[in-house]
Amino acid sequence: NWQCFLRRDIPWMLAGETTALFASDGREQVSIFSHESTFEAAVRANLPEEFKSIAMHVDIARHLHRPGAVLPSAGRNFLYDPQTGKVGPLEEEELFQHIPQSFRICRVYVAEPEHREAVAT
C-alpha cells in the first residue's frame, strides 16, 4: 500500500548489510550469496536459538561492474616503480585487473526492533 509507504509505516527495519565482491573466477554462483533462501538459512543458522524463527526478510542485489573502454583519464595515469626508479604509464588493463567482476549487496530486515542487534552481530 503506497499510503503506508508514504507515511513511512514500513514493517521491515534494516538489521544488517554487507557487500560481497566476486572476481570472474565463477565462485559467485556457489556462494551463500547466490540465492536469497541460502543466505537466509545461513543467517538463521548463526543466530542464537531464541531468534532462529523471527520474522526476517533478506534482499540480495547484484551489480555487474562494466568499466568503459576508454576512461576520461586515459593516458593520464602513471606509476612509479621504486625498483627501477622509472615512471611509466599505468594502462587501463592494469587498473581493471583487480576490480571485482560483480558484487552483491546483502541486506537483512527484521519486523521487530528488538531483533536488530541479534541479527547484526
For 57-100, the pLDDT digits (tens) are: 999 988 876 655 555 556 677 888 888 888 988 776 666 665 65
Q: pTM here?
A: 0.65
Q: Which of 4-18, 28-42, 51-65, 85-99 bottoms out in mean pLDDT, i.e. has the lowest?
A: 85-99
Cβ-based neighbour number of residue 38 at 10 Å: 15
Contact 57, 106 (CB under 8 A): no
Q: Check whether 20 has a pLDDT greater than 70.
A: yes
Beta pairing class for 102-110 and 56-64: antiparallel
Q: What is the structure's pLDDT at 21?
A: 79
Per-residue exposure over 84-111, b if at least 16 CB sit within 10 Å of its own CB, e if not: eeeeeeeebeeeeeeeeeebbebbbbbe
Q: Is residue 108's pLDDT more than 90?
A: yes
